[in-house]
Amino acid sequence: MDLDTPVTGGPCWTELGTDDLDGAKRFYGRLFGWRAETDPRQPAGGYTVAHLGDAAVAALSPLYQPTQPVAWNVSFAVADADRAAREVTEAGGTVLLGPVDVFDTGRFTVVFDPAGAVFQLWQARSFPGAGLFNVPGALGWVELLTRAPERAVDFYTTVFGWTVEASAHYTQWGLDGADFGGMVRMDDKFPHEVPPHWLPYFAVADVDATAAEATAAGGTVLMEPTTVPDGPRIAVLRDPQAAVFGVYEAGRES
């Protein structure tokens, strides 16, 4: 993505909700070289931050509700979580949780867009979000998969003021023209039970080697490594607990 720090309206963080926290630590540590640090405070509930060097890059957390799926989630930075939650509702979305304070780090909200894709709003206090983007092992792109792309354009441009660059095959999201993500229409190739969702892509030095390593570590390759015309080499993977994520060749974010 063209952004290299968290900015208001852009993706600032991604976190995995999993039913096997220790397994996730091993898998992603092997795949991306992450160093995991679990918050020891009881109210944190096992929330674990993954680091590259000293920089926080993502989080791994236990499932907090019986109905919560194993999945990666994407957070977008907002100046005021309460106001942003109201704007989501006014634009046709739904607030699932919050806004709530998270210690002194920020204020947090979980919402659905009108088609049912879940994402999060983050109002930073002491923690702005990821300390690295676009380098191997760090977040570098976010992609919305939806069956209602026209409605998504209306919703996200209203809530966040995103710019839209659309072609016949792909739509890219941006802030003042700085692209950070895209959108894919879910067609008949997607099973009916797969809901609309946001998919994080992590940068890697070698997509093919990462896909092979994911398989060796117990994961699955859902989309084989492929080179996008005029774009990066990418693959879509699934971890051993069934959370889906993408990888792409570092340095080729768009």
The predicted-structure confidence for 70-88, as pLDDT tens digits, reads as follows 999 999 999 999 999 999 9
The predicted-structure confidence for 190-239, as pLDDT tens digits, reads as follows 999 999 999 999 999 999 999 999 999 999 999 999 999 888 999 999 99
- The reported pLDDT for the residue numbered 131 is 97
- H or E segment to which residue 144 belongs: strand 139-146
- The reported pLDDT for the residue numbered 168 is 75
Phi-psi region of 45 (alpha: psi -120 to 50; beta: other; left: phi over 0): left
Please, which pLDDT band fits residue 128 given cuts at 50, 70 and 90?
very high
- Residue 254 in this model has a pLDDT that exceeds 70: no
Domains of the chain, each with CATH number or no CATH: 11-124 (3.10.180.10), 139-249 (3.10.180.10)
The predicted-structure confidence for 143-198, as pLDDT tens digits, reads as follows 999 999 999 999 999 999 999 998 877 899 999 889 999 999 999 989 999 999 99
Dist. CA 115–CA 149, nearest whole Å = 9
- The reported pLDDT for the residue numbered 62 is 95
Tokens of 109: 């909200």
Please, which pLDDT band fits residue 252 given cuts at 50, 70 and 90?
low
